[in-house]
Amino acid sequence: MSKTRFNAISAFSGRPKINVEMPSEKISDFYAESVFSDKIIKEYLTKESFSRLQECIKGGTKIDRDLADQVASAMKAWALKKGATHYTHWFQPLTGSTAEKHDSFFIPKGTGGIEEFGADALTQQEPDASSFPSGGIRATFEARGYTAWDLTSPAFIMTVGHGKTLCIPTIFISYTGEPLDFKAPLMKSINALESAALEVCHYFDRNVNKVIATLGWEQEYFLVDAAMYYSRPDLVMSGRTLIGRPSPKGQQLEDHYFGSIPERVYSFMREMEIECLKLGIPVRTRHNEVAPGQFECAPMFEEVNLAVDHNSLLMDVMDRVSSKHKLKVLFHEKPFAGVNGSGKHNNWSMATDNGKNLLSPGKTPRTNLQFLTFFINTIAAVNRHEALLRASVATHGNDHRLGANEAPPAIISVFIGSYLQDVLKMIEDRIDEESFDEQENINLRLDIHNRIPDILLDNTDRNRTSPFAFTGNKFEIRAVGSSANCALPMTVINTIVAEQLKLFKKEVDALIKEGDYKDVAILKVLRRTLKESKRILFEGDSYSDEWHQEAAKRGLSNNKTTPEALKAFITKKSLELFEGLGVYTQRESEARHEIMLINYIHHLQIEASVLSEMILNQIVPAAIDYQNKLINNIRGLKEIGLKETAYKSQLTLLETISLQIEQIIKTEEKLRTENDKAHHLSEVQKQAEAYCEKVKPLMDSIRKNCDELEAYVDDDLWPLAKYREMLFAK
């Protein structure tokens, strides 16, 4: 057996079990203990200062220098008491991961020193902006950039080994003010949505003072043994297996989904959850996912900005905790061929400051009309900008997943369920309707000797093939990839809904001015809006060929690749949308487009180079070794005088392997040539298209030949950990 693979399997079989103890019997005893929460702040600030801080956070007003100094002093005292020695501005650059630069509280003075941390250190720092993606906004020699404190996301203490660091969530901008991160545009989109939604809310309730976008994400991921992970250069360098024959047993028995959690994985989950809960991440759900080796966790709903921060933080925690358990967490959307890939479903809604979910059907005619207003306008927003929403989830990894029979297709459509379909039809037919009765509760009676209680049915079924599905009191955006930062799709949905609500209010106000009663005006505009948006509604199987044909007739986009999909980000319509609502300037939109294309290009460059290296250093040498074994065996049979019929099958096998080797070598040469050609193209769009259209097909061809070889080559000689070992080793 290959030495590397043998060592990996040997290491796995000798893993000791790690016992994880709860810090306390009740989660409530340690929840958010590492967070500079309101409860903690109250202990360190005066009542007056705490009230002023809350006004700044909730009212969106700027914090003055005196209050910032008080908060910094309180934060330092708390952090030192918790054992922190350093602090950092924690931000989310456009690399796709988080970033931090640590500074010590300790400042040497004279023969001693002192711990210092004031308003300047709290509110602003200066990381090197030239070393992060900017899409041409910053030249390499223009290094200055700034991080600025986000008051709305609480500081926290990150524990790594025995070290503790105070982390302060921040935005990241260039010297000239353009955002260089995911958070700043997200916050602008939140403000745009709040402003637009609040004005519409006042049609129904003048006591609403704030509208909050909410998010509940569902994080899917794979776990593999660390030794097996490090035995695979493709997993280490690209996050996915570039070659690998599917295991004879995959997910076809459907026995993994919601199955019992393996003990080793359970220990990892427990420790990961404990660390998350300490950081105030309200994780609540864990389970096996559909594919072997695949799992999922999910939290309670939170305000969207905090939820995005918590998801980024969770991914970091998962990576560190998995290493402790000698596991490796894989966030790539398609790390293994032949089994389900991973997504990150984003459940989005809107809520008011008095506790009303605006996408929850109400119990009275008036609250139902409010629900229908926000419900229909969300549908209309998706209809208007379906291509942009698709662009917001476009990545190199998601291209392997979208459109497969496991995830939503590249065509964006909206599923709402039969009951709500009937309600919308009623609006179309009767614009003067003054009441909308809530769906009656329907019980599903189970005749099992009265031992099982009746089941209360929801007002919609679930459509797992829909990329944008209404699921009772929220919209579930199923097309987001597992490795993605939630901020970009959330920025897009916030912005397009904000635009639609503004258009809606303008039309309603015009009708009211002409003499219509408010409710009649609302219904008229809803009816017109619904008719214009019906093409986006689809209740059937989004995987089917029939839907693809129907979607084309309806004029819906079907952008199957990232280079194609990302063009929607810089259309005139999208540029005007973002600039009109103050989310991105045209320059910033164009820069984001370039960054996303470059990210796509770089990932494929890495994959192509890694694949070439694996072919030349591992796969072909292993195949030649086996080829030589066959040759020597055949030669030996000839020498003892056996007829060719006695070893004809071995000759056939030898010929098959020789042809595969020859094909792989030839295709690998073409791959290097096309990789080099694409690399030297000057225009980013053409470069991305070249990698998509020229390089990727060659990689797929090599994979096919390598996977054939894996079936033939002696198991003792095959150098890479196999799917059956990575996916089923528990």
The full DSSP string for 474-491 is SEEETT-BTTS-THHHHH
pLDDT tops 90 at residue 641:
no
- Among 300-314, 328-342, 441-455, the range scoring the smallest mean pLDDT is 441-455
Task: Quote the tokens at residue 440.
Answer: 């009656």
Q: In whole angstroms, what is the distance from residue 360 CA to residue 350 CA?
A: 9
Residues 535 and 654 in one domain: no
Tens of pLDDT along 277-315? 999 999 999 999 989 999 999 999 999 999 999 999 999
pLDDT tops 60 at residue 460:
no
Q: pTM for this structure?
A: 0.93
Percent share of the chain, pLDDT over 90: 73
Based on the structure, what is the number of domains in the chain? 3
> For residue 544, how far is the Cα from the chain centroid?
25
Q: What pLDDT, on a 0 to 100 scale, did the predictor assign at position 453?
A: 55
Domain boundary among 562, 578, 599: 599
Residues 202 and 143 in one domain: no
pLDDT tops 90 at residue 331:
yes
Tens of pLDDT along 107-142? 988 778 788 999 999 999 988 777 888 888 876 666
* Total Cβ atoms within 10 A of residue 10: 11
Is 708 inside a domain boundary?
yes
Residues 119 and 259 in one domain: no
DSSP 3-state of 471: coil
Is 224 inside a domain boundary?
yes
Is 149 inside a domain boundary?
yes
pLDDT tops 50 at residue 545:
yes
Among candidates 589, 585, 581, which has minimal Cα distance to 195?
581
Residues 225 and 315 in one domain: yes
Among candidates 304, 314, 333, which has minimal Cα distance to 489?
304
Q: What pLDDT, on a 0 to 100 scale, did the predictor assign at position 403?
A: 61
Q: Which residues pair with 350 in a beta bridge?
A: 213
Q: What pLDDT, on a 0 to 100 scale, did the predictor assign at position 142?
A: 67
Give 702's contacts (C-beta < 8 A, 6+ positions apart).
Answer: 243, 611, 615, 664, 667, 668, 671
- Among 214-228, 517-531, 632-646, the range scoring the smallest mean pLDDT is 632-646
DSSP H or E stretch at residue 90:
strand 86-90
Q: How confident is the model at residue 455 (pLDDT cuts 50, 70, 90)?
A: very low
Looking up residue 329, the CATH number of its domain turns out to be 3.30.590.10
Half-sphere exposure of 377 (CA within 13 A, CB side): 32
Task: Please name the residue that has the structure tokens 């900005």.
Answer: 305
Arithmetic mean of pLDDT, 347-354: 96
Please, what is the average pLDDT of the chain?
90
The 8-class DSSP code of residue 64 comes to P
Pairing of strands 468-470, 414-415: parallel
Q: What pLDDT, on a 0 to 100 scale, did the predictor assign at position 647?
A: 82
> For residue 717, how far is the Cα from the chain centroid?
38
Residues 435 and 536 in one domain: yes
The amino acid that residue 36 corresponds to is F
Tens of pLDDT along 574-589? 999 999 999 999 999 9
Identify which has the larger pLDDT, 19 or 500.
Answer: 500
Q: Which of 171-175, 472-476, 583-587 holds the top average pLDDT?
A: 583-587
Is 22 inside a domain boundary?
no
Looking up residue 147, the CATH number of its domain turns out to be 3.10.20.70
Residues 724 and 627 in one domain: yes
Percent share of the chain, pLDDT over 70: 93
Task: Quote the tokens at residue 702.
Answer: 């090599």
Tens of pLDDT along 85-97? 999 999 999 998 9
Residues 549 and 614 in one domain: no
- Burial level of 509, CB count in 10 A (0-12/13-18/19+)? middle
DSSP 3-state of 172: strand
Helix (H), strand (E), coil (C) string for 387-408: HHHHHCCCCCCHHHCCCCCCCC
Arithmetic mean of pLDDT, 708-718: 94
Q: In whole angstroms, what is the distance from residue 376 CA to residue 424 CA?
A: 9
**Structural domain boundaries, residue 155:** 31-181
Whether 431 contacts 443, CB under 8 Å: no
Residues 376 and 316 in one domain: yes
Tens of pLDDT along 230-269? 999 999 999 999 999 998 888 877 778 888 899 999 999 9
* Total Cβ atoms within 10 A of residue 5: 23
DSSP H or E stretch at residue 557:
none
Task: Please name the residue that has the structure tokens 């939503």.
Answer: 408
Q: In whole angstroms, what is the distance from residue 583 CA to residue 595 CA?
A: 17
Among candidates 606, 610, 602, which has minimal Cα distance to 243?
610
Is 635 inside a domain boundary?
yes
Q: In whole angstroms, what is the distance from residue 397 CA to residue 394 CA?
A: 8
The pairs formed by 254-260 with CB atoms below 8 angstroms and a separation of 24 or more are 254/290, 256/288, 256/289, 256/290, 256/291, 256/292, 256/294, 257/288, 257/289, 257/290, 258/287, 258/288, 259/288, 260/288
DSSP H or E stretch at residue 722:
none
Is 7 inside a domain boundary?
no
Q: In whole angstroms, what is the distance from residue 292 CA to residue 249 CA?
A: 9
Arithmetic mean of pLDDT, 544-572: 94
Identify which has the larger pLDDT, 420 or 183.
Answer: 183
Residues 107 and 55 in one domain: yes
Whether 227 contacts 607, CB under 8 Å: no
Residues 114 and 195 in one domain: no
Looking up residue 609, the CATH number of its domain turns out to be 1.20.120.1560
Q: In whole angstroms, what is the distance from residue 206 CA to residue 208 CA?
A: 6
Q: In whole angstroms, what is the distance from residue 9 CA to residue 51 CA?
A: 59
Q: What pLDDT, on a 0 to 100 scale, did the predictor assign at position 127?
A: 84
* Total Cβ atoms within 10 A of residue 405: 9
Domain boundary among 156, 181, 206: 181
Q: What pLDDT, on a 0 to 100 scale, did the predictor assign at position 249?
A: 84
Residues 437 and 487 in one domain: yes
Domain boundary among 566, 599, 632: 599
- Among 388-392, 420-424, 570-574, the range scoring the smallest mean pLDDT is 420-424
Q: What pLDDT, on a 0 to 100 scale, did the predictor assign at position 553?
A: 95
Is 713 inside a domain boundary?
yes
pLDDT tops 50 at residue 34:
yes
Tens of pLDDT along 411-426? 999 999 888 888 888 8
275: left (phi over 0), alpha (psi -120 to 50) or beta: alpha
pLDDT tops 60 at residue 459:
no
Q: In whole angstroms, what is the distance from residue 586 CA to residue 576 CA?
A: 8
Q: What pLDDT, on a 0 to 100 scale, did the predictor assign at position 367?
A: 65
Is 475 inside a domain boundary?
yes
Residues 494 and 636 in one domain: no
